[in-house]
Amino acid sequence: ATIVTSIFEWLDARKHSVVYCMVDKRKFCSEFIADERFADVNTLWRFMGLHLSLAIQKAHQGHDKNKGNTVLILDNEEREQTCFTELILNPPLWTDTYYNRSQKQDQLDQIVDAPYFADSRDVPLLQVADFVAFFLRRHAELETGDSERYVGERDQVRRWAESALQRSISSASYPKRGRGACADMFYTYAPACALR
């Protein structure tokens, strides 16, 4: 617990940002196939990767002189690389409402290039991302009824998850009001614990 806490303190001290998304897999698998946008996204992995990319776009486009300063580096997912790269380089028009794209704005103009994929064993910050994702996922599991594996786990994991969520640029990823069609799609498939 001391080591885990120290890693979250390290993230906070260095002001690292966190971006996340959550999906109710059962609902996604049973309902999204009927959505007309399914053909553009097709898999849960791409759905989540697209949401993360759009959240980054939305968060960064408000910064002055920031156009094209974001590089996406994702954990290796060999089956998804080609299709996800195509999705980011040529996003469907319905994604524009997520970040209120203006007429003169290029799509996903914060993303400088095609996404890069790497093995987390070779990229320490991907290991940190895996670490944070584990605690966010465990927090979601505990909040949706999973049993504690040790006494006090729910409270301890909640503290760690809150630490990550405080560093998050995703706070507007699931707005309660004023969602466009794209943001509403991600909201629809999010578990209740993501809708804070």
Find all residues with CB under 8 Å of 41, minimum gap 6, and list them.
32, 47, 50, 87
pLDDT score for 178: 79
Distance CA(4)–CA(168), nearest Å, equals: 18
Cβ proximity of 44 and 25 under 8 Å: yes
pLDDT digits (tens, 9 = 90+) for 50-63: 999 999 999 888 77
Q: Where are the alpha helices (DSSP H) in the chain?
A: 2-13, 25-31, 38-41, 44-60, 81-89, 124-143, 153-166, 181-188
Distance CA(138)–CA(144), nearest Å, equals: 10
pLDDT score for 171: 58
Can you tell me whether residue 68 is helix, strand or coil?
A: coil
Q: Which residues pair with 125 in a beta bridge?
A: none
What is the H or E stretch that residue 116 is in? strand 116-118
Distance CA(51)–CA(37), nearest Å, equals: 13
Q: Identify the CA nearest to 178 among candidates 97, 94, 107, 110.
A: 97
Q: What is the mean pLDDT of each run of 10 residues along the chain (196 residues)?
A: 95 90 93 94 96 92 77 90 95 95 91 90 90 94 92 96 86 75 92 75
Q: Which residues pair with 73 in a beta bridge?
A: 116
Distance CA(62)–CA(154), nearest Å, equals: 36
Distance CA(143)–CA(136), nearest Å, equals: 11
Q: Which residues pair with 124 in a beta bridge?
A: none
Write down how long the chain is: 196
Q: Which amino acid is at 75?
A: D
* b/e per residue 79-99 (b: at least 16 CB within 10 A): ebeeebbebbeebeeebbbbb
What value does the CA radius of gyration of the chain take, rounded to a whole number of Å? 17
